[in-house]
Structure 1
Amino acid sequence: MDITVSENPDGSIHVEYYSYVPSAPAAWAFVVLFGITTVAHFFMMFPMRAAYFIPLILGGICEAFGYYGRSWSHRKPDDMKPWIMQELLILCAPPLISATIYMILGRIIRSLQAEHHSMVRTKWLTAIFVLNDIVCFCTQIGGAGVQITGDDRIMKIGQKAVLGGLILSLVVYLLFIATAARFHVRLAREPTPIVRDNPRLRWRRYLVALYVECVAVFLRNLVRAIEYSQGTRGFIADHEAMLYVFDAFLMFLTLLLLLGFHPGLLIKRARRVASSEGVYGTLLSEGVETSQINLAEYNREK
């Protein structure tokens, strides 16, 4: 939060949106990076049947246009329009991306037929975390939106609302990581038949990727919370590099990891293995071992 409101000698109000001139090359670089990854996610959504990636795609669009707003601010640093554009979109894109992350875990659990290993029933798992994410989103977008008033009292209330939303998001992410880790440990200790008999599913790598994505967003929200707690002229707000290192890069890394370790790949493979179970009875009657059946079917479908 880098806006400063001061009073001119003639009594008029002067608003300074940045303590520096925003970098155009850095902004354009992330416009391109977020644009490419968002388009890639859009096209992957169809073969993966991953409609739950729609919030992430919307978040990627917000990120791209948010950094376009910063490139616009390079030309017009005193103009409110590009400032509010980048402030709203960059601040509120992560909750949209988080909504998709929250929906991934329940789908992985169901695809591995491991609902009994989850701390929370899968039908409530997504609802609980997404509902909390919506609250975080609303408080942040509402708090950021009132910044355009220019009223110092209202702006301080808005900053507190954004800070509250960020702190809530940190708590929610810690609970989510704990839930995923508990499931991971239980499944590793007591594998379900589909996991035990089909090691080539490689389900662990997708959970590890999920942890990294969660930590990236958590770190981003933590730095943002510190920024808002420092006020309008804190160290983080006064150094543009902090935005690109602890916000732009971390969110881009999240989108990139979700491309490389798209949960739809694991879910699709698990469903193929599960759908092959209809032929197990015939093969078992011929004396074929269970592990050989699962691997044979998995290789055939692959």
Structure 2
Amino acid sequence: MAQQTVRPAPGAAKMPPASGGGRRNGSRPRRAPRPRTVLVTAVAWLIAAVFLLPYAQMVITALRPAGELRDATYLPGEFAWSNFIDVWRESHLGDNLRVTLLVAGGSTLLVLLVAIPAAYYTARVRFRGRKLFLLLVLVTQMFQPTSLLVGLYREFYQLGMLNSVWTLVLCNAAFNLAFAIWILTAYFSAIPEELEEAAMIDGLSRGRALLRVTLPLAMPGVVTAVIFTFIAAWNEFVMGLTLSTVPESQPLTVGINSFIGNYTVQWNYLFAASVIAIVPVVVLFAFIERHVVSGLTAGSVK
């Protein structure tokens, strides 16, 4: 019998060859990166290394034994992990950290409690003197806290509030309140007022419309105010040094400065305390990084 040749039907898919050199699973061959892409990536890594190198040096010095502080080597012969334990036990670093957390957290909370209603009222109500109020808020940012230290010290001394956490909370909140009001006013003004009117038609009051409608939309501005206030209060040094004279009531920035003596500097303990000081800030940014990115890109896409 003659063998019949089976021809594929028109339009039928052709089977790939069974040779081993063909593409697997229909994947496209990888293309070599373009020279421009390689150059941009290399520059990005170089910039990142420049910014990360001081932090790496800080961690390495924090782990360096006291006998190797003057050595010219970049890496120590052995890592002294006990530096972190010693700096925690032999100093008031725990109390300083607690004070700084209370001051930064309390200042941020107080700023939000005052700035959100003030910025919302300024954005929604066209009262007489509104522009003058915003101008005065902006002008207060020009004053340096250092120029007011003598008056502040005298005032809190008469009130008997020196060496108090509440003193530092009030001062830090006062100097960061203007920025929070200014930036939140801009965010509230950009939100259509019709959204609140629709919510109030559905039965919500003005306050509940603010909490449920306007405030979530203004969250990038709130996060920006939180970051600015928290970091400013965390890094504040001059007021903490002037208004707190007892080591247990001093903030972390002043406590770290105690490792710098008149004739010697305990570099290993100084950098170990600095590493401990940056951990809460890194944790804060890890939690709010998503909101920070949304705040940076707010308004870029309509």
Normalising by structure 1, what TM-score?
A: 0.31
The structure with the largest helix share of the pair is: 1
Q: Structure with the greater relative contact order (CA < 8 A, sep ≥ 6): 1 or 2?
A: 2
Higher-Rg structure is: 2
